[in-house]
Structure 1
Amino acid sequence: MTIFDLADLPQKSRDTSLGITSICSAHPVVLRAALTEAAGREGPLLIEATCNQVNQEGGYTGMTPAAFRDFVLDLAAKAAFDTSRMILGGDHLGPNPWKHLPAEEAMGRAEAMVAAFVEAGFTKIHLDTSMGCAGEPVAVPDEITAGRAARLAKVAEATAERQGSRLHYIVGTEVPPPGGATHSLSSLKPTSPEAALETVEVHRKAFAAAGLEAAFERAIGLVVQPGVEFGGEEVHAYDPAAARALSSALGQLPGFVFEAHSTDYQPVSALSALVDDGFAILKVGPGLTFAMREALYGLDAISAILDKVPADETLRATMERVMVDDPRYWKGHYHCEEAELLRQRHYSYSDRIRYYWPRPEVQHAVDALLARLGNRPIPETLISQHLAWLYPDVAARRFPARPAELIEQSVCRVIRSYSQATLG
């Protein structure tokens, strides 16, 4: 990375309220949109993969860290994107994929995973060892969490030394549930400043005990709960007043910024306020595939009109069949009456539908939709009706009214709101 070093982020954040967006997705449409958006501005492009999504055993994407890196670099090459501007990050690296196993076995696999991420060129490393393994509490005490994080850092540092790379660490684990909340958001509270300070201190001591003082000097971020979250049909927007005490704690943490997870669906004013208050790393994932799904469903409705597609042959009908046949990715997340489940499956902010896009039958349905539409311009009146959020730009001729561009620009629109907040 030559244009933007993560080591500079804490000072840049304090001096100019600059931040960075973390793109947390493995979908090629989302990643191409991220490359398109980043190509039109200065600054870095940070792309991250989680431990469940990508690991040495393949994760749910089927990709190892090296395979994910190659996948991203191939997309970048096709987009003629300067990869010196790209940062790859590993998120929630720890025993979580194997927490059903005894702790020693789970940690052994976590060590192998961390080594694989660093060997593949990932340099932003979020260590998350807070979860209990077989026979342990759901969340282990801070001292055990920090000790296990230091153990993983030792492996990361040894691997980085062989690779000749320089790592930057993120610590802390107090985040909204992956994929959004499944409960009411009315009681949501930001992390207390005392808890934030204690998390950093206990990790500092654990790293020192492991002889990793120099590595901890490259810890730049602390994951906290700033008071943002989303559920199936509601979003808890950032409230600067409620987070004032937490934000003030950064004054006692020189060299650190806060990392905010699950910032999806926040208005740009809230994203800007987060960055102003020291939450300089903003992570977004489901909100991007949500925007992609909106565009695909809009085009699906347009194709039904233009091409007289039978209802049971639409993309939406295919998605419904696939999700009902295999409910594992949504059933435990949507707690509502049966009549409401159809709406949640397709339109929930939690966007559990994103797990189904790689399915062969779904890919075939998407390909069939795009083949029907071809490369013909979509009538503006139908864009106004079914893709209204894109209509002003289409009417102003900012991009062609063709299917591929419409899908990409739907995602770019979300990413631009983050760039506006983080880059000013």
Structure 2
Amino acid sequence: MKTLLDIVARHKRGEQAGVYSLCSAHPRVIESAMREAAACDAPLLVEATSNQVNQFGGYTGMTPADFRRFVLQIARDAGFGEEKLWLGGDHLGPNAWQHEPADVALAKSAEMIRQYVAAGFRKIHLDCSMACGGDPHPLPEALIARRAARLCAVAENTWREVGGEPPVYVIGTEVPVPGGATESLGELAVTSPDAARATIQAHQSAFADIGLDSAWSRVIALVVQPGVEFDHHKVIDYRPHKAQALSTFISRDSQFIFEAHSTDYQTAPNLQALVRDHFAILKVGPGATYALRETLWALAAVAHELPGGAAQEDLRTTAIEVMRSDPRYWRNYYHDSDRETLDLQFSLSDRIRYYWPHPRVKRAYESLLSRLRNVSLPLTLLSQFMPHQYEAVRDGRLQANVDELLNEGIAVALRPYMRACGVPGPQE
């Protein structure tokens, strides 16, 4: 991960340099991100989370080795060079097993991290912030740090066995809920400089206690709360003045930048400001699959208006039926029965992303794209349902075919991250 270390070094020298991390397992989202990166000759960081990918398959059914093969195949199909692809692991720790006894959960966490590193993942977020069975609430910072150091030792030993570039690490205990908040949000408290300092000191001490000084030199970032989040229908925007003390604190540190989670749906100026203020690793997940869903809904509306379209299966209806028949991925998130249909489709937490691999939804998705590949798409319908793509088609920047329209819909959500991180556009 030397290139990532170089980006951190450039940022510490005062450049508008950063990296965005795509946290998604949807092949179309990953493909679109790769095409955008290739057009700008830029690398792409793709991360898997501990719930998504682990030794038991996670909710994707993939182990770390499976996920690597999956992403590499997309890269080959998209013509994206493997040397430009970086793989990371997010929230690696006991999150998936926090209801089990601590020793059991940590043993599973250690095996998960071993498999991630053995599979070639080289950006590792050590997240032991959650209490497990039998733990005190909240966990003392020193205990969190000791557990993170133990997992780091597993990663280091595995790397020495398999070779390749050494891993880089991210630490931090003020971690937003993966996938967005489950309740309606008001104003968020920004991490204090004292809390950030305490986290760094506790981890540095824990690493030193077990001889991980070399690994400590590759800890590049700290996860904090800059005051950004989203719930079902609202975004808490970044307010630079509220994070000024935190930004000043890290600017004086020669090693660390911040990693900002839950930056989905922030405006382009907000993303620019986050990187400027040293939140130079930007995570995006639901925001990318939300853009996928939004574009698919527009394409489904186009298909419905075409001759004979009303008689065809509607992807939108199929997806909602499947979600209602199997509510395990959303029932703990959506609590208002009067808004259930609204939330199932349009919530910013985008729980619908868990259902794209379902056989019925996948068939309806593939059927929609297949039907639209075989017809000429009228500009009038693009203007009605896909105004951004319509303008791009009229300007000659985009072909009016379904695959380009879909890729463009996703790319629109990703380009602000690239620009915020200092990646110029293909024509710049």
Normalising by structure 2, report the TM-score: 0.96
SS at match of 2:241: coil
CA shift at 1:311, angstroms?
7.3
Structure 1 spans left out of the alignment, 5+ residues:
none
> How far apart in 2 are the matches of 1:387 and 1:138?
49
**Quick one: which of 9, 14, 24 aligns to 1:11?**
9
1:301 aligns with: 301
> How far apart in 2 are the matches of 1:405 and 1:118?
35
2:217 aligns with: 217
SS at match of 1:60: helix
> How far apart in 2 are the matches of 1:332 and 1:388?
35
CA shift at 1:138, angstroms?
4.9
> How far apart in 2 are the matches of 1:135 and 1:11?
41
2:182 aligns with: 182
2:86 aligns with: 87
Deviation larger for 278-287 or 95-104: 95-104
Q: How does 1:83-122 map to 2 (within 5 A)?
A: 83-122=82-121
> How far apart in 1 are the matches of 2:189 and 2:389?
35
Number of aligned residue pairs: 421
Matched, 1:131 2:116: no
CA shift at 1:43, angstroms?
2.9
Residues 138 and 295 of structure 1: is their aligned pair in 2 closer, same or farther, counting only changes over 3 Å?
farther
Residue-by-residue CA offset, 1:139-162 (whole Å, 9 max, x unaligned): 411111000000001110001111
> How far apart in 1 are the matches of 2:137 and 2:305?
51
Equivalent residue letter for 2:270:
A
1:236 aligns with: 236
Equivalent residue letter for 2:35:
T
CA contact (8 A) 2:16 2:420 kept: no
> How far apart in 2 are the matches of 1:271 and 1:64?
32
Equivalent residue letter for 2:263:
T
CA contact (8 A) 1:375 1:403 kept: no
CA contact (8 A) 2:187 2:236 kept: no
SS at match of 1:423: coil
> How far apart in 2 are the matches of 1:343 and 1:173?
33
Residue-by-residue CA offset, 1:200-222 (whole Å, 9 max, x unaligned): 11000000001101111100000
Q: How does 1:259-408 map to 2 (within 5 A)?
A: 259-310=259-310, 313-336=313-336, 338-408=337-407
CA contact (8 A) 2:389 2:398 kept: no
CA contact (8 A) 1:17 1:278 kept: no
> How far apart in 1 are the matches of 2:311 and 2:237?
37
> How far apart in 2 are the matches of 1:57 and 1:218?
29
CA contact (8 A) 1:307 1:372 kept: no
CA contact (8 A) 1:261 1:282 kept: yes
Equivalent residue letter for 2:358:
R
CA shift at 1:312, angstroms?
8.4
SS at match of 2:174: coil
CA shift at 1:183, angstroms?
2.6
CA shift at 1:351, angstroms?
0.4
Equivalent residue letter for 2:20:
T
Residues 402 and 252 of structure 1: is their aligned pair in 2 closer, same or farther, counting only changes over 3 Å?
same
> How far apart in 1 are the matches of 2:196 and 2:65?
33
SS at match of 1:157: helix
Residues 361 and 7 of structure 1: is their aligned pair in 2 closer, same or farther, counting only changes over 3 Å?
same
CA shift at 1:13, angstroms?
1.2
CA contact (8 A) 2:300 2:315 kept: yes
CA contact (8 A) 1:175 1:261 kept: yes
CA shift at 1:308, angstroms?
3.0
Residue-by-residue CA offset, 1:61-115 (whole Å, 9 max, x unaligned): 0000011001111111111211111111000100111112111111111110000
Q: How does 1:38-57 map to 2 (within 5 A)?
A: 38-57=37-56
Residue-by-residue CA offset, 1:184-213 (whole Å, 9 max, x unaligned): 332312111110111011000000001101
